[in-house]
Amino acid sequence: MQAAAPRLTMGAAGEDQEEAPAARVGRLVRESPVVVFARRGCYMAHVMRRLLAAVGAHAVVIELDAGAAEEEAVAAGAALPALFVGGDPVGGGLEGLMGLHLSGRLVPRLREVGALCA
């Protein structure tokens, strides 16, 4: 996702409106069971995606350009890379994901939010 090309949504009266970065972040988190926000080329996001794929989950990875408005919106609530599972932030980025996995709580949580087959 690049900040230079804002996403447009249709307003109530049919006029085009630019979606605010915080609203865009919230929508992306609500639309997908597993979302990772990271800076472009972040190795920790790559490791997160590989771990999630290894347990059978597909994560939507949103790469942000440095200084992008979306980066500021995500960073207001969590450091990058930021992981959201079922709309809830998983604190600690890669460390939080690893903690969930090692404690045995990752797969049940992914199954609960519909990111895994039962």
* Residue 90 maps to a domain: yes
* Residue 7 maps to a domain: no
- What is the mean pLDDT of the segment spanning 75-93? 82
| Sheet of strand 82-85: strand arrangement | 60-64, 34-39, 82-85, 88-90
Please give the structure tokens belonging to residue 62: 């949103």
Q: What is the mean pLDDT of the chain?
A: 79
The whole-number pLDDT of residue 2 equals: 32
Residue 4 pLDDT grade (very low, low, confident, very high; cuts 50, 70, 90): very low
Enclosing domain of residue 69: 33-112
CATH code (residue 62): 3.40.30.10
As a whole number of angstroms, the distance between CA 114 and CA 87 comes to: 12
- What is the mean pLDDT of the segment spanning 62-80? 70
* Residue 20 maps to a domain: no
* Residue 65 maps to a domain: yes
* Residue 84 maps to a domain: yes
- What is the mean pLDDT of the segment spanning 91-113? 93
* Residue 92 maps to a domain: yes
* Residue 118 maps to a domain: no
The whole-number pLDDT of residue 7 equals: 29
Split into its structural domains, the chain has a count of 1
* Residue 75 maps to a domain: yes
Q: What's the pTM value of the predicted model, to 2 decimals?
A: 0.76
Q: Which residue has the higher pLDDT, 59 or 68?
A: 59
As a whole number of angstroms, the distance between CA 1 and CA 11 comes to: 22
The whole-number pLDDT of residue 34 equals: 94
> What are the pLDDT digits (tens) for 35-65?
998 888 889 999 999 999 999 998 999 888 7
The whole-number pLDDT of residue 23 equals: 83
Whether residue 33 is predicted with pLDDT greater than 50 in this model: the reply is: yes
